Chains A and B, each alone.
Chain A
Amino acid sequence: MNLVKQAKGNWQYLLNAMEASLLKDLLKKFPVTGDVPARITKTDTDPKAAEREKLLNESLVEHRQALKRQAMDLLNANHFKKTEQDYRFTLTSGEREILLQILNDIRVGCWVSLGKPESLEPPTTFPSALERARHNWMNLAGYFEHHLVDHG
């Protein structure tokens, strides 16, 4: 995956067939995990903090539902254009941010479901096929995030 063009708020990446297929699979799978309650504070015991936390979690649920719709939009053929050997993947700046949020939701969600391991190295054996899959999705999402952001 390489950035080939960036102009006027549009980003164009070149993906090989394997990358395009894997990225589409990730988008179709989103969300790969359920909602994880978020904390708004670690120390504040003010009753207002509880209300703020409730609002935060409601907002995050709504945001994920919007991301799900946007993930489907990103699968649209207008974004993935087949060339002779590769795919040209085109995004606006806003869509690029959406894609980053989707990918990182997958990455962090998988990490949480794996028990928040300190090391992201794969274990020698996986207790289940689902855990193996989540480990792979976590790494795959990170791969695409890295290429979306780090183009320096």
Chain B
Amino acid sequence: MATIAEPVTVPEPVIKKRTRSGDDLAPTYHVICWNDPVNLMVYVTHVFMKVFGWNQQQAEKHMMEVHEQGKSVLVREGAEKAEFYVHQLQNYKLQATMERAE
């Protein structure tokens, strides 16, 4: 036979305010490609496809941004990966830099 349990007061859970981890605070960087008159448009598109694995449409969109607006933000990454991408792009002689994201 079931018995009626005494009511129990469950204490309010203490929810600690979430603090940001070190990773959250690590700065991120925009990898930017800058325009110049010497790199061919088809070449720039090709390099974006190779380095980022983008399809032609996405690569062309960024290439046109570079061409028409003077620069394109290609990706936003942590320092190490942003540095890797800049190395890759500069191996192809594109004018690429990493700039701290806001």
Interface residues of A (CB under 8 A from B): 38-44, 46, 48, 52, 55-56, 59-60, 63, 97, 100-101, 104-105, 107-108, 111, 116-120, 138, 142, 145-146, 149-150
A150 and B100 CA atoms in complex are apart in Å by: 34
Q: Are B97 and A104 in contact (CB under 8 A)?
A: no
User: Of A101, A120, A150, which is within 8 A of B38 by CB?
Assistant: A120
A118 and B98 CA atoms in complex are apart in Å by: 24
Q: Smallest CB–CB gap between B86 and chain A, Å?
A: 6
Interface residues of B (CB under 8 A from A): 36-40, 42-43, 45-46, 50, 79, 83, 86-87, 90-93, 97-100
Q: Are B37 and A104 in contact (CB under 8 A)?
A: no
User: What would 8 A/B residue contacts be, using CB atoms closer than 8 Å?
Assistant: A40-B83, A56-B90, A101-B93, A108-B39, A116-B36, A138-B38, A145-B40, A146-B42
Q: Are A41 and B93 in contact (CB under 8 A)?
A: no
Q: Smallest CB–CB gap between B55 and chain A, Å?
A: 14
- By DSSP majority rule, is chain A's interface helix, strand, loop, or mixed? helix
Q: Smallest CB–CB gap between B28 and chain A, Å?
A: 12
4 residue pairs, one from A and one from B, having the closest CB atoms = A111-B38, A108-B93, A150-B42, A149-B46
Q: Are A44 and B99 in contact (CB under 8 A)?
A: yes
Q: Are A97 and B50 in contact (CB under 8 A)?
A: yes
Please indicate the chain A residues that have their CB under 8 angstroms from the CB of B97 in the complex: 39-42
